[in-house]
Structure 1
Amino acid sequence: MSKRLKYIHHIDFLRAIAVLLVILFHLDIQLFKGGFIGVDVFFVISGFLISRNIKHELHTSGGVGFKNFYMGRVRRLLPTLFLVIFLTFICGFLLLPPSLFSGFVKSMFFSSFASSNFYFLSETSYFDVTASLKPLLHTWSLGIEEQFYLIFPMAFVLLLKIFKKNWAMLTVLILLIIVGLVLNISVSRGFLNESLIASFISGKQFSENISSIQFFLLPFRAFEFLLGALIIFLPSFVNKLSVLKTLLNLLGLLLIVLSAIVFGKGTSYMSTLNIIPCIGASLFIANAPSFKVAHFYGLPVFKILGKISYTLYLFHWPIIVFYNFLNGDKTNILENLLLVVVMVTISYFVYYKYENPLRIRDPKLQVISNNGLIGMLLLCLIIISNIKVDVANNNGWFWRVDKKTLSNLKAFENPVEYNTKNWGAAGYGDYGL
């Protein structure tokens, strides 16, 4: 059995910062109008951890157990995802009118099959006002991450076997990152066939289509994961220079926070400029800080937020969407604080009582066996697929709606289209289309 890798504690702090930036952005806190870069930070962390684990296993065991690797990913990601989908479905069933419910069920289906990024690409820009009515919109990032997990591990093992020296792998990764950046710049400049764009998305301006494609598709995000992988091949020339490592660590944190403050929805060349917070994340991960700084990073609040960051990421957006849907008005400071408390409380409970127990790999300690878990997930996929078909065939399940509202809705010609006008607290009215 190979020796376990040392746990990197300051990454928990980075996870906490990343998820907080995303939450602040979704709560429309203007100081952090670029808080969406928290997702880019998560991609860097994923690229680093997956590459580090694969390299370690290959060098200590002589091979990589892909079955165990993918089972670990399944246990880590899918149980909580399906729980969020299930709970969100209940809320959508109770609250959403047929039109919005039909669109939600479609997103639920694609989210469960790791392809919601493609679905939302065909629907809307991530930054459209209509996005505020899509409770599973945030699963686009999970789609990209799961697609990365399908492709990268085997390709990475192959590269490790071909390029056995650290400097050689470093060179390869730098070249791939450059290719990714050149691809983004070229596409931003308009060097992409319009017919190719039309195969993904239609009905929007060309420039908006381009930015949506860059936002939602893995090829334009791959360099972020690769920046994380690159860290493990960097020369350790500052291992004994604690002051320099701390400064580089703090510089990385500064780049992330400043990016969240300076960047925004309308930032030009955002798909390329997001390399700045990604470099910041790489600097932060690669350089362990001094004891005093590490002690601050290790405060219980950051430790807990870092541990539950994935769970919190999944729960925070549906909570915001349904609250805004019912409330109708922009939230104030007190409401935002209460929402954060609710998000963290739910996520904490789910992580320690549900998610963490299901992640145990030891067959003697497992709550459910691998085969049992796979069977349950397959059953969920079958149920979701059947719900999607039935909702589509029955006009968004009109029978859920009370008679008065139903009579109003039937007055319109096409009631099941996924209309994304901002209705909610104002009632059904004309927005039930």
Structure 2
Amino acid sequence: MRAIAVGAVVLYHAGLAVVPGGYVGVDVFFVISGFLITGQLISMLQAHRRIPFGEFYAKRIRRIIPASFAVLALTTLASLVFLPPSTRPGALQDAIATALYVPNVLFAAQGADYLAETAPSPFQHYWSLGIEEQFYLFWPLILLLGFLLVSKSIKRLFWVVLAIVTVSFVLCVIMTTTSQPAAFFLLPTRAWELGVGALAAFALHAGLIRLNGRTAAAGTWVGLAGIAVSLVVLNSGTVFPGWAALLPVLSTAAVIICGSASPAGGAGRVLGLRPLQKIGAWSYSIYLVHWPLLIIPQAAVGYENPLPLVVTLALGVLSVPLAVLLYRFVETRFRHPSAGAPARTGRVIATAAAASLAFVAVAAGLSAVQSSTPIATTRDAPAQPLQLSPTGSTFVPANLTPSLRDAPESVPGIYADGCHADFAATVVQADCVYGDSSAERDIVLFGDSHAAQWFPAVEAYAAANSYRLHNLTKSSCPSVEIGIMREESPYSECEEWHQSALSYINEVDPELVLLSNFGEVSPVDTSTGLLEQWEAGLRSTLAALPESSRAVVLADTPSHDASPLDCLSQNTEDATRCDLERTEGIDKEVVALEKRATAQENNSFYVDLNGYLCTNLCPSIIGDLLVYRDEHHITTEFSRALAGPLGDELDRVR
């Protein structure tokens, strides 16, 4: 079972399309771990009527920490060598969280912020280990308290565990629809999966399930088929974990329970094959090794140059012999005291704690050094006014504004002010008004984060021309009237907010309404093409604006496949390597349809300022200004520099 689980995960991460649901291998691992650990704890309760916590924790530490720390240390060193300098402090932060056994908590927080356009962390696979470690910490105490509560009856303790599993599952389903990253990464919403394995252990130890050989053998095949279906039917678009996780979890439990009743029959004949048994024994080490082996080479060649499938598959295969070395010389050596690991319980726990603290201290120091080291050449670049057909800088200047390190924080002030609506907002904020409060004319900025990126330029124009500026922007919610998906569910909050925004605009009756949007969305309606829906939705929005208002649709800025910051940090002496082909960064079809829609709607105009960002190439640095803060947002400083060209265009349509 472990061999199937780890094989599915490795093939999925390597990009093999035939297993789009390979990520459920982690769920299989959870069930197996819950079964094995709970079985051990039940045996302790039955034999001693108590749980020797020190002995239990020391055994868990010897089992998982040495190999985990060996890969953690090597991955940290490799990250410092091969990762782009711009991402190293973040990677070290992830490494520190891993050493403190809370990487899943950190990734849950990061996953909730979809403004953060970041490459995968080399330590991201540790999230599942974090859940297991936290489970091992709390589960023995929970079982002991439950055991005492039900008068030391294993059969009655089963019902206590069932209640815990039910609560965790319900929480998982609810949070998957409201905060999917938290549901995916956190223990309370994943505990039920380990708990299902625990229920299987109780059922077998307490004799709650009795199966004859033929039924058990058939059950193993049914369970194995369920896992196979999970690997093929589920995919990256599946809302997960939620209800979808039931299939791989219950299927794994079926294989465990039925296989225990008929170990030599059914699917046990396949799962018992020596190659699968060997891979299963190495599975923990394979899991630890495979992810950094895939991520770090990709970082070394640049995220803008995706590794071909044949290379990623080769790296996945390479993880096996490397894992065998880790298994033999680290995992096995420290698992048993007689093989060289410290024998005393207190010493084992103290050594693990000391190793964690020492690693954290070193990693924090390295992070401080990395964060303070400039990512630029020693040369300055002259400041220059923006002009059409710009010439990009050929190097990363020392006076770059903002610096590559500061760029991710170069966001408009409306974020800090709370005036850029978050995902949950359904009504606009009437107090998000900027500029001259006594002015008699109004401008409205309306759209998603790609409208918000224009705020510095529009604010400068409003201040210079005595306008009140009303900011109506919301994360991932375009001003185009179109039903879209977010986290694989209809983004109903966007639809409600959109209607609230239109009502607000009609009440204000502004002189100008500026609209801008990121066109890469997933429509709810898949029966009609996105471009057709986008044009119809834009026309609908323009038609809903006040007749007296002039609507200006701002062309979207270029979009990169990978963050220019990472490329620039690796090519400080040759920034031209990070230039983007205009044809790759700007969608001509979207430009054409938006021009067509504005031309056919009264008082509507189309303004395209991309001539100030691109010729045939779109450079990442123009003069001493950094253009982009991530894959597809311009920096605040560059937006402010566009105030003049934008103002010229707006003056023409007033």
TM-score scaled by length of structure 1: 0.82
Q: What CA distance in whole angstroms lies between the structure 1 residues aligned with 2:42 and 2:123?
A: 34
Pairwise CA distance, 1:299: 2.2
Worse-matched range after superposition: 372-381 or 40-49:
372-381
The one-letter amino acid of 1:354's match is V
CA radius of gyration, larger in: 2
User: CA separation of 1:332/1:247 partners in 2, compared to 1, >3 Å: closer, same or farther?
Assistant: farther
Q: What CA distance in whole angstroms lies between the structure 2 residues aligned with 1:350 and 1:104?
A: 23
> Which residue in 2 is equivalent to 1:315?
289
1:43 alignment partner, SS class: helix
The one-letter amino acid of 1:386's match is A
1:38 aligns with 2:11: no
Deviations 1:137-158 (A, max 9, x none): 1111111111111111111122
The correspondence for 2:264, drawn from 287, 291, 295, is 291
TM alignment of 1:210-359, pairs within 5 A: 210-234=179-203, 236=207, 241-268=212-239, 270-288=241-259, 289=262, 291=264, 293-328=267-302, 329-359=305-335
1:415 aligns with 2:375: no
**In 2, are the aligned partners of 1:45 and 1:225 still within 8 Å (CA)?**
yes
1:67 aligns with 2:209: no
The one-letter amino acid of 2:194's match is F
Pairwise CA distance, 1:268: 3.0
2:18 alignment partner, SS class: helix
**In 2, are the aligned partners of 1:102 and 1:418 still within 8 Å (CA)?**
no
More helix by share: 1
TM alignment of 1:71-90, pairs within 5 A: 71-90=58-77
Q: What CA distance in whole angstroms lies between the structure 2 residues aligned with 1:345 and 1:425?
A: 35
**In 2, are the aligned partners of 1:103 and 1:418 still within 8 Å (CA)?**
no
User: CA separation of 1:326/1:373 partners in 2, compared to 1, >3 Å: closer, same or farther?
Assistant: same
The correspondence for 1:178, drawn from 157, 166, 170, is 166
The one-letter amino acid of 2:13's match is H
Pairwise CA distance, 1:31: 1.8
Pairwise CA distance, 1:272: 2.6
Deviations 1:252-284 (A, max 9, x none): 111112112111222136323202111011111
> Which residue in 1 is equivalent to 2:642?
none
The one-letter amino acid of 2:563's match is K
Q: What CA distance in whole angstroms lies between the structure 2 residues aligned with 1:239 and 1:401?
A: 69
Pairwise CA distance, 1:119: 1.1
Q: What CA distance in whole angstroms lies between the structure 2 residues aligned with 1:302 and 1:50?
A: 22
Q: What CA distance in whole angstroms lies between the structure 2 residues aligned with 1:384 and 1:416?
A: 24
Q: What CA distance in whole angstroms lies between the structure 2 residues aligned with 1:296 and 1:220?
A: 32
Deviations 1:221-273 (A, max 9, x none): 11111101101232657756222111111111111121121112221363232
Worse-matched range after superposition: 214-223 or 56-65:
56-65
Pairwise CA distance, 1:399: 7.8
Q: What CA distance in whole angstroms lies between the structure 2 residues aligned with 1:30 and 1:127?
A: 25
> Which residue in 1 is equivalent to 2:86?
99
Pairwise CA distance, 1:92: 1.1
| Larger RCO (alpha carbons 8 Å, 6+ apart) | 1
The one-letter amino acid of 2:44's match is E
The one-letter amino acid of 1:34's match is G
User: CA separation of 1:299/1:180 partners in 2, compared to 1, >3 Å: closer, same or farther?
Assistant: same
Worse-matched range after superposition: 164-173 or 277-286:
164-173
Q: What CA distance in whole angstroms lies between the structure 2 residues aligned with 1:186 and 1:64?
A: 34
User: CA separation of 1:77/1:368 partners in 2, compared to 1, >3 Å: closer, same or farther?
Assistant: same
TM alignment of 1:158-197, pairs within 5 A: 158-163=145-150, 164-190=152-178
Q: What CA distance in whole angstroms lies between the structure 2 residues aligned with 1:224 and 1:165?
A: 23
Q: What CA distance in whole angstroms lies between the structure 1 residues aligned with 2:54 and 2:342?
A: 17
**In 2, are the aligned partners of 1:243 and 1:290 still within 8 Å (CA)?**
no
**In 2, are the aligned partners of 1:231 and 1:286 still within 8 Å (CA)?**
yes
Q: How many residues get paired?
A: 399
> Which residue in 2 is equivalent to 1:3?
none
Q: Tell me, which stretches of 5 or more residues in structure 2 are unaligned? A: 380-393, 409-561, 579-619, 621-625, 630-654
Q: What CA distance in whole angstroms lies between the structure 2 residues aligned with 1:418 and 1:33?
A: 34
The one-letter amino acid of 1:182's match is V
Pairwise CA distance, 1:174: 2.5
User: CA separation of 1:97/1:189 partners in 2, compared to 1, >3 Å: closer, same or farther?
Assistant: closer
Q: What CA distance in whole angstroms lies between the structure 1 residues aligned with 2:407 and 2:154?
A: 51
Worse-matched range after superposition: 153-162 or 74-83:
153-162
1:133 alignment partner, SS class: coil
**In 1, are the aligned partners of 2:3 and 2:280 still within 8 Å (CA)?**
yes
Q: What CA distance in whole angstroms lies between the structure 1 residues aligned with 2:12 and 2:376?
A: 33
**In 1, are the aligned partners of 2:14 and 2:313 still within 8 Å (CA)?**
no
Deviations 1:162-221 (A, max 9, x none): 33445423333332222222222333454xxxxxxxxxxxxxxxxxxx000100111101
> Which residue in 1 is equivalent to 2:108?
121
User: CA separation of 1:406/1:89 partners in 2, compared to 1, >3 Å: closer, same or farther?
Assistant: farther
The one-letter amino acid of 2:297's match is Y
**In 1, are the aligned partners of 2:31 and 2:195 still within 8 Å (CA)?**
yes
Q: What CA distance in whole angstroms lies between the structure 1 residues aligned with 2:30 and 2:136?
A: 11
1:63 alignment partner, SS class: coil
The one-letter amino acid of 2:20's match is K
The one-letter amino acid of 2:277's match is K
The one-letter amino acid of 1:360's match is H
> Which residue in 1 is equivalent to 2:528?
none
Q: What CA distance in whole angstroms lies between the structure 2 residues aligned with 1:302 and 1:414?
A: 51
Aligned Cα RMSD in Å? 3.2
Q: What CA distance in whole angstroms lies between the structure 2 residues aligned with 1:126 and 1:340?
A: 30
1:36 alignment partner, SS class: helix
The correspondence for 1:137, drawn from 86, 107, 124, is 124
Pairwise CA distance, 1:307: 0.7
Q: What CA distance in whole angstroms lies between the structure 2 residues aligned with 1:128 and 1:263?
A: 26
More strand by share: 2
Q: What CA distance in whole angstroms lies between the structure 2 residues aligned with 1:410 and 1:373?
A: 51
**In 2, are the aligned partners of 1:311 and 1:351 still within 8 Å (CA)?**
yes
TM-score scaled by length of structure 2: 0.56
Deviations 1:82-141 (A, max 9, x none): 111111111111112332110000000000001111111222369999665310011111
Pairwise CA distance, 1:367: 4.0
